[in-house]
A and B are shown apart, each in its own frame.
Chain A
Amino acid sequence: MIAAGTFNPPSIDWFALSPLLVLLGGGLVLLVAAALTPQWPKHLYAWSTVAIGLAALATTFVQWHDISKDGAKTLVGGALSYDHLALFGTITICIGLCLAALVTDDFLRREGMEGPEVYGLFLMAAVGAVVMVMSNDLIVLFLGLETLSIALYVLAASNRRRVESQEAGIKYFVLGGFSSAFFLYGIALIYGATGSTNFTTILAAFDSVPVHRRDAFALVGVGLMLVGLGFKVSAAPFHFWSPDVYQGAPTPITAFMASVGKTAAFAAMLRVLIIALPNWKDDWRPVIWVIAVLTLLVGSISAVVQTNVKRMLAYSSISHAGFILLGVEAAGHAGASGAGGMPGTMMYLMIYSVLVIGTFAVVTVVGRTGDAATDLGSFRGLSKQQPLLAMALTVFLLAQAGVPLTSGFIAKVGVIKAVVDEHSYALAIIAMVSAVIAAFLYLRIMVNVWLADPETGDDTREPVRVPLSTGIAIALCAGFTLYVGFNPGWLIDASDMVTNVARPLTGG
């Protein structure tokens, strides 16, 4: 509690904030420099963004060792946390940012929209996402969420020539604002119940607040926050926006949204539920269970009947959100230590981010000028035109289906093992059944790519070309997917460390 009239400025550990500062400073410098100079040579905007992303990534690796040595702690008067969970999320976000910028590079030139704005928004969205994964206070989390979301609203509507993009923008905006308001109301009620918005204080307040306040306010507050977070991660029954937005937004933006947006929202969900509210776990865990089951089933079953590949991938992304919720549910069983579920969740997010960017990169290329050729028919006979691209797409789809020797298998094993360890057998079985249903969708795309002949009248169509930057991004994603599939040990070890979070219980 802060008494009026006293103000002690918090000490600021600049080194611990460096990824955030690099992204923020880089984004501002990029925007200002680009506004003051004439059009830069091609590739330069994208590669500057990649350089900023890599610089932020480099600082996280230094910090990783720093935390391993000196332990986790909280920053800026307890507003942010400096721990392995935050860093793992930051690394995922930086990787997603770099890959998405590479895919966006050629896309913008093809669509005649070359300019620095999209990259500036990418960097600002990444700043918001990093604030979310680092947050140790509900209000800081809300600010990060809004920084990320507002940048994403603009990005979704950024293709001014396509009415679909504008429609995606306004749908995302209205529903995103709607869900943010629910989340904020949840924060207000938790504040009312515990007298603070700080995670550490909320955790400690469980025993000291009067029971009547704890029950009425906190339960409604937790419920409202789950609604808000459920919207952000596109979990059923709050998933309605995501197929429309994923389909309508420019394809590389969809890739960015599905990777960075999801990572930030799930990391925030872990922070809120496991670090701030573990004492209410008996109340929120069954809700997560139900949401996970609904999300898995809705995602995989609705995906099967779609004919537009972007829409299919949107539903597949919903079903992946269901898998990630398994990890959250498993973490809920363990309560404050979040033992088994947290590593699985974070590892799934990293693997899925790379996968989804790779998949949408292929869709970007196949979409051709105008970004409109994303129906299943456009993929027919892709293997005859572009065998390497078809192979990369096959790797991504097999990995999304969870086939062994790809990273997707490691991810799915991670979360399913976590729930089985917590004896949630029913959830594990439902997840596996839904994985089988979802596999049909991936096979359907693959059959079109490899076995079907090109559509008649396809000669008039522009051939599929793979430009340099996008090619590099696809190769990196495919390489990562296969490498992790064959050699997952290092990633599992790294993700196991995310349970080391900043809070008083573990000496942070």
Chain B
Amino acid sequence: MLAVVATPTTTWYLLLAALLFSIGVVGVLVRRNPLVMFMCIELMLNAVNLSFVALAKKLGDIGGQTTVFFVMVVAAAEVVVGLGIIVSILRRRPTATADDIAELKG
């Protein structure tokens, strides 16, 4: 059995959050399915939530943890609206990817 080499510190969580956020950013930029792009935005928001919790623990301040609830409510509201818009587009064009939705350009 290996001894535990290190206990996770705040930095670990912040780095993990930064990594998750970056995965989300890259996802939005490279994926073409509107639903997946949308999931990547949710991933970005949740990465921020993780940073908030880690920082709140570090600072010994409860403000950062309560913030997470607000962010979750906002994310839920975004899901409702976003899925509504996505469904209304996909109903018209069932196979649409982000590249197909390109009536507007110039």
Which A residues form the contact surface with B (CB < 8 A)?
A: 1-4, 139, 142-143, 146, 150, 153-154, 157, 160, 163-164, 166-171, 173-174, 177-178, 180-182, 184-185, 187-189, 191-192, 195-197, 243-244, 247-248, 306-308, 311
Instruction: Report whether B77 and A197 are in contact in the complex, using a CB–CB cutoff of 8 Å.
Output: no
Whether B23 sits at the interface, judged by CB under 8 Å, is no
Residues of A within 8 A of B74 (CB): 142-143, 146, 180
A185→B81 CA distance, assembly (Å): 22
Main secondary structure of the interface of A (DSSP, over half): helix
B62 and A191 contacting across the interface, CB-CB below 8 Å: no
CA distance A243 to B105 in the complex (A): 8
- Given contact pairs A178-B25, A181-B24, a sample of 6 additional A-B residue pairs in the complex whose CB atoms are under 8 Å apart: A1-B60, A153-B82, A163-B103, A166-B89, A178-B28, A189-B51
Residues from chain B with Cβ under 8 Å of A308 in the complex: 106
Interface centre among B37, B41, B98 (most CB of A within 10 A): B41
**Closest A-chain residue to B34, C-beta based?**
A170
Shortest CB distance B80–A (Å): 9
Q: Judging by beta carbons under 8 Å apart, are A170 and B86 in contact?
A: yes
| Interfacial chain A residues near B103, Cβ < 8 Å | 163-164, 167, 248
Chain B residue nearest to A189 in the complex (CB): B51
B81 adjacent to A154 (CB under 8 Å): yes
B70 interface hit (Cβ, 8 Å) = yes
Q: Which 5 pairs across A and B sit closest by C-beta, in order of nearness?
A: A181-B44, A244-B104, A192-B55, A177-B41, A188-B51
Whether A195 pairs with B85 at a CB distance below 8 angstroms is no
Contact between A311 and B55 (Cβ–Cβ < 8 Å)?
no
Known: A168-B104, A170-B34. A177 touches B51 (CB 8 A): no
Q: A1-B61, A174-B38 are in contact. Are A247 and B92 (CB under 8 A)?
A: no
Q: Is B59's beta carbon under 8 Å from chain A? A: yes
Contacts of A188 in B (CB 8 A): 48, 51-52, 55, 64
In the complex, B16 has a CB within 8 A of chain A: no
Closest chain B residue, CB of each to CB of A174: B37
Which residues of chain A come closer than 8 Å to B41, judged between CB atoms?
A: 174, 177-178, 181
* Chain A residues within an 8 Å CB radius of B60: 1
Whether the pair A247, B104 counts as a contact (CB closer than 8 A) is: yes
Per the bound structure, the CA–CA distance linking A191 and B103 in Å amounts to: 41
Contact indicator A181/B88 (Cβ below 8 Å): no
On B, residues with C-beta under 8 Å from A are 14, 21, 24-25, 28, 34, 37-38, 41, 44-45, 47-48, 51-52, 55, 58-64, 67, 70-71, 74, 77-78, 81-82, 84-86, 88-89, 92, 98, 101-106
Contact A195 B48 (CB under 8 A): no
- Find out whether the CB atom of B78 lies under 8 angstroms from the CB atom of A146: yes
Residues of A within 8 A of B105 (CB): 244
Contacts A142-B70, A185-B51, A191-B55; is A306 near B81 (CB within 8 Å)? no
Q: A167-B104, A195-B61, A247-B104 are in contact. Are A150 and B51 (CB under 8 A)?
A: no
Contact among A1, A146, A196, A311 for B106, CB-based, below 8 A: A311
**Which residues of chain A come closer than 8 Å to B88, judged between CB atoms?**
157, 160, 166
From A4, A185, A189, give the contact of B44 (CB < 8 A): A185
For the complex, what is the distance from the CA of A86 to the CA of B84, rounded to whole Å?
33
CB pair B77 A157 closer than 8 Å: no
Pair B63/A1 contact, Cβ less than 8 Å: yes
Option from B14, B45, B59, B81 in Cβ contact (under 8 Å) with A153: B81
A195 touching B59, Cβ below 8 Å: yes
Q: Are B63 and A154 in contact (CB under 8 A)?
A: no
Alpha-carbon gap, A154 to B78, bound state (A)? 10
Nearest-neighbour CB distance to chain A for B53, whole angstroms, equals 10
Q: Are B106 and A173 in contact (CB under 8 A)?
A: no
Complex Cα distance, B98 from A188, in Å, reads 30
Contacts of A143 in B (CB 8 A): 70, 74
A246 to chain B, nearest CB (A): 9
How far is A143 from B77 in the complex, measured between Cα atoms in Å? 11
Return B11 CB to nearest CB of chain A, in Å. Answer: 11
Nearest-CB distance from B97 to chain A (Å)? 11
> Is there contact, CB below 8 Å, between A153 and B85?
yes
A143 to B103, CA, bound (A): 32
A195 / chain B contacts, CB cutoff of 8 Å:
59, 61
C-alpha gap A164/B24 in the complex (Å)? 27
Q: Chain B residues with Cβ under 8 A from A171's Cβ?
A: 101, 104
15 sample A-B contacts, Cβ–Cβ < 8 Å, listed by A number: A1-B60, A146-B77, A153-B85, A154-B81, A164-B104, A166-B92, A167-B104, A170-B85, A170-B86, A171-B104, A174-B28, A177-B82, A185-B21, A185-B48, A192-B58
State A197–B71 Cα separation when bound (angstroms).
Answer: 14
Residues of B within 8 A of A181 (CB): 21, 24, 41, 44-45, 48
B86 touches A4 (CB 8 A): no
Q: Which residue of A lies closest to B82 (CB)?
A: A173
Q: How far is the CB of A186 from chain B (nearest CB, A)?
A: 9
Partner of B63, one of A157, A160, A197: A197
Chain A residues closer than 8 Å to B25, beta-carbon distance = 178
Q: In the complex, A460→B19 CA distance in Å?
A: 59
**Centre residue among B14, B58, B61 by max chain A CB count within 10 A:** B61
* In the complex, chain A residues whose CB is within 8 Å of the CB of B92: 163, 166
Q: Which of B38, B58, B61, B106 is in CB contact (< 8 Å) with A177?
A: B38
Q: How far is the CB of A204 from chain B (nearest CB, A)?
A: 15
Contacts of A196 in B (CB 8 A): 61, 63
Whole-angstrom CA separation of A247 from B106 in the bound complex = 10
Q: How far, in whole Å, are A174 and B38 apart by their CA atoms in the complex? A: 7
Among B44, B45, B52, B63, the residue within 8 A (CB) of A2 is B63
